[in-house]
């Protein structure tokens, strides 16, 4: 289906120069004596790069056909993240670390993720926003450091390091927001 420049609202997926993009932000701009323009901030779904682009009435786009499927994370090896289709362990595929991005540090075996496929190829994975982890290493809280409600850095299963309140100890189960990498609560 063809999209006009006015259809490029937040969240719309479209194809430009053979690549899938998602509209992150959009503003309609009318200047005196000129044609109306749509100012957009768009994200390339393959590279993750953000771009600022202006589109005019003469521009048209094709809607991106993005297929979403559930997959299970298996393991990471030499910068490659391995997954299998949910319910079909024989259908395995891998993604490079730069495709998975920062969220890869929060993947643990058997985590269910949502894959995004464009033209039959997996281009991205979305991991759950909140996940629970066991703290594997935590320095002790030092008396006298609590006046400002301080933080300390701990290591969670999988090796990621995050900042948590001083009361979190080794062996505790904590919930983390995987999009921001921030501590949410102790479970």
Q: How many CB atoms lie within 10 A of CB 107?
A: 22
User: Under CATH, which number does the domain 130-186 receive?
Assistant: 2.40.50.140
Give the span between the Cα atoms of 97 and 81, in whole angstroms.
7
Give the span between the Cα atoms of 53 and 34, in whole angstroms.
17
Give the span between the Cα atoms of 98 and 101, in whole angstroms.
5
Give the span between the Cα atoms of 63 and 38, in whole angstroms.
17
Give the span between the Cα atoms of 87 and 136, in whole angstroms.
30
User: Under CATH, which number does the domain 2-63 receive?
Assistant: 2.30.30.30
User: Under CATH, which number does the domain 66-126 receive?
Assistant: 2.40.50.140
Do 66-126 and 130-186 agree at the fold level? yes
Residues 6+ apart with CB under 8 A from 140: none
| CB of 12 closer than 8 Å to CB of 21 | no
Residues 86-140 have pLDDT tens digits of: 988 898 999 988 888 888 889 999 999 999 999 988 888 889 999 999 999 998 8
Query: Does 148 have pLDDT greater than 70?
Result: no
Distances (CA, A) of 77 to 25, 94, 156: 36, 10, 19
DSSP states of 85-137: ETTEEEEEEEEEHHHHGGGGGG--TT-EEEEEEETTEEEEEE--SEEEEEEEE
Residues 17-72 have pLDDT tens digits of: 999 999 999 998 887 777 888 999 998 888 778 999 999 888 889 999 999 999 99
- Sketch the domain layout of the chain as residue ranges: 2-63, 66-126, 130-186
Tokens 């400002």 correspond to: 148
Query: Does 143 have pLDDT greater than 70?
Result: no
pTM of the model: 0.74
In terms of C-beta density within 10 A (0-12 exposed, 13-18 middle, 19 or more buried), how is residue 132 classed? middle
């Amino acid at each position: 289906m063809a999209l006009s420049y006015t259809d490029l609202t937040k969240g719309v997926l479209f194809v430009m120069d053979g690549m899938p993009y998602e509209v992150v932000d959009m503003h309609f701009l009318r200047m005196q004596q000129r044609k109306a323009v749509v100012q957009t901030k768009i994200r390339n779904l393959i590279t993750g790069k953000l771009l600022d682009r202006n589109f005019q009435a003469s521009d048209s786009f094709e809607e991106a056909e993005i297929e979403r499927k559930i997959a299970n994370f298996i393991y990471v090896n030499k910068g490659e993240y391995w997954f299998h289709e949910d319910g079909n362990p024989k259908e395995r595929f891998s993604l490079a670390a730069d495709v998975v991005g920062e969220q890869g540090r929060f993947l643990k075996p058997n985590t269910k993720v949502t894959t995004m496929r464009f033209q039959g190829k997996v281009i991205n994975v979305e991991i759950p926003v909140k996940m629970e982890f066991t703290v594997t290493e935590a320095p002790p809280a030092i008396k006298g450091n609590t006046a400002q409600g301080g933080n300390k850095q701990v290591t969670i299963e999988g090796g990621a390091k995050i900042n948590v309140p001083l009361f979190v100890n080794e062996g505790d189960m904590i919930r983390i927001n995987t999009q921001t990498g921030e501590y949410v609560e102790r479970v």
